[in-house]
Amino acid sequence: MAPREFIKARESKEVTLVDGRPYYPQLFVTKEEDAKSHDHASLISTALAIIFHDSEPPTNLAANLKVKIVTGGITNSLYCISGFKPIQNYDSILIRVFGAEGMIDRDVETSTFASLAEADIAPPYFGRFGNGRLEGWLDNFSQLVLMDLQIKATTEAIAIRLARLHFGFRVPDTLTEWHNDAAPGLWTQLYAWMEQAKGIDSKLGYMSKGDAERSERLLNLDNIEKELNWVKESIVPAIAQVAFCHNDLLPANIMKHGETGEIKLIDFEYGGVNFIGFDIANFFNEFAGGPEKKSGEPDYSLFPDEARQKFFITAYVRESRSLHGGGDDDDPNGHLKTTTTTEEEEIETLCKDVDAFVLVNHLYWGLWAVNQAAAEGTEDFDFLAFAWHRFNRFFEIKEECGF
C-alpha cells in the first residue's frame, strides 16, 4: 500500500510518514533557482525540514551547511549538502530533484528505493518532498567514468554486485502489485513509451527550437514500432530468467570506494522486475557511452567483444549460482525456477539471451530519449541525437546479423 500513501498525503496536503520516512507533499525545490543561487536557500530549508521533521534544527546549522552541485545525472538535478557533523552521525546528504516528468512513477520508485535502502542495496533514504527526496551520501565513493569499464577487475566486481541485486533482493509484499515476477515490465514500458513518442505533436511538442524539424527528418517512429514488434515476436527468447533489475547500469550509476574498491549501485529509478539478460545487455551497451557527452554520441568501438562479454557473464553466473544453491534449487527469494543446467550451459544460454536484448535495449533508450527531448529540451543534452544514434545502431546490428 505504500505508493498509495503518497497519493493520500498529496490529497490531504499534510506531512505524512510513508515507508517510515517523512513526506512533505507541499514542499518544492526550484532547481533552476537553486542552481544559480549562492545560498541555495530552498535546498537547505527542505533538507532541514525532512531531517528534523520531529524536532527543531540546531541554531545556526543552516548557516554552516555547504551545497555543491553533483554532476553526472541527465534525468535529475543532484546536490550534496555537507556540514551535519557532529550533530548527526553523517556529514553529508544527497538531494535528488526529480526530472523526467511523466516518464517515471515517483510513488512506486520512491517506495522501491526505500525497500532497497532497507536491504542495504541502495544508499539510506531520509524522506521525500514534492519534487524530490533526500538520500544518504556515500563517503569516499566516486562515480565510474566510461574508461573504467575497460578494466577487467572493475567489471568483474560489477558482475558480482549485479548478481547480488538480482538474487539477493526480495520485493516486499507491499510492492508486488508493481514488481511482479510473473509480469516483467519491459514490454509494458516499451509500448507505453512508443505511444507517448507517437503522440508528440510534430510542430508544438518539442521544447527546443528546430527539434520538430529534426525529429521529422531523423526519426521514423512507425518503422521503429514495426521493429519493436519484430524483436518481441521473433528475436527475444520466449522463456528468459527474470529478477529485480537495475535497468540503467551506466558508469554514472556505479560507485567505487577509493580505498577498498568496493562497488555500489545507485539511481534505481528505472528499476523493476525484468529480464536479467536485458540488465546485462544494457551494461554492455553503456561501454560505448553517449550520456556523458552533450552530443549524445556513443563510440561503439568500445563495445565489449565476445571474450569480454563472456568474462563478465561467467563472473555473474558463478556468483548467482552461489546465491541460489549452485543451480539445483530455487534461489532464496523465489526469482528462478529449479534448474539442473551446468555452469557452462547457463553461461552459454545467458550469452545468447544478452545478444537478443542488446537489440531491444537500443529501442528502449531510443524511445526514452525521444520523449525526453519533448519534455526537457535538447540544450543541455541532445536527446534527439542520442535517440538517432541508438536507433541507427539497432539497424546496424540487425544488418550485421543478417536478420
pLDDT digits (tens, 9 = 90+) for 221-253: 999 999 999 999 999 998 899 999 999 999 999
Instruction: Note the pLDDT of residue 40.
Output: 84
Look up the CATH number of the domain holding residue 239. 3.90.1200.10
284 and 317 both lie in a single domain: yes
Are residue 44 and residue 189 in the same domain, yes or no?
A: no
Of 104, 139, 174, the one marking the end of a domain is 139
Domain harbouring 19, CATH code: 3.30.200.20
Q: Are residues 23 and 57 in the same domain?
A: yes
CB within 8 Å of 227: residues ≥ 6 apart: 363, 394, 398
Residues 96 and 181 in one domain: no
Q: Which amino acid is at 260?
A: T
Spatial CA neighbour of 6 closest among 139, 130, 149, 144: 130
Q: Is 166 found in the same domain as 64?
A: no
CA-to-CA dists, residue 54 to 50, 244, 292, angstroms: 9, 34, 40
Cα torsion 366, 175, 108, 132: sign: negative
Domain of residue 95 covers: 2-139
* Ranges of the chain whose pLDDT falls below 70: 1, 31-39, 72, 203, 325-339
* Tally of residues, the chain: 403
Which sign, positive or negative, has the C-alpha torsion 370, 372, 377, 379? negative
Residue found by looking up cell 533557482 in the block? 33
Tens of pLDDT, residue by residue over 336-363, are 444 578 999 999 999 999 999 999 999 9
Residue 84, classed as helix, strand or coil, is coil
Domain boundary residue, one of 93, 112, 139: 139
On whether both 113 and 149 belong to a single domain, the answer is no
- Residue reference for cell 522486475: 273
Backbone phi and psi for residue 202, each to the nearest 5 degrees, phi listed first: -65, -20
Please report which helix (H) or strand (E) contains residue 212, including its range: helix 211-218
**Domain check: are 109 and 158 in the same one?**
no
Assess whether 302 and 372 both reside in one domain: yes
Whether 107 and 156 share a structural domain: no
DSSP bridge pairs for 81 = 67, 93
Q: How high is the pLDDT of residue 339?
A: 57
Q: How many domains does the chain have?
A: 2
* Predicted pLDDT at 33: 54
Domain match, 89 and 160 both: no
Same domain as 332, residue 312: yes
CB atoms near residue 150 (< 10 Å) = 12
For 53, the grid coordinates are 521533521
Asked which of 92, 111, 139 is the last residue of a domain, the reply is 139
- At residue 332, the pLDDT reads 42
**256 and 133, same domain (yes or no):** no
* Residues whose CB falls within 8 Å of the CB of residue 353, separated by 6 or more in sequence, listed in order: 237, 240, 241, 275, 276, 277
Q: What is the 3-state secondary structure (H, E, C) of 294-343?
A: CCCCCCHHHCCCHHHHHHHHHHHHHHHHHHCHHHCCCCCCCCCCCCCCCH
Determine the pLDDT at residue 90: 95
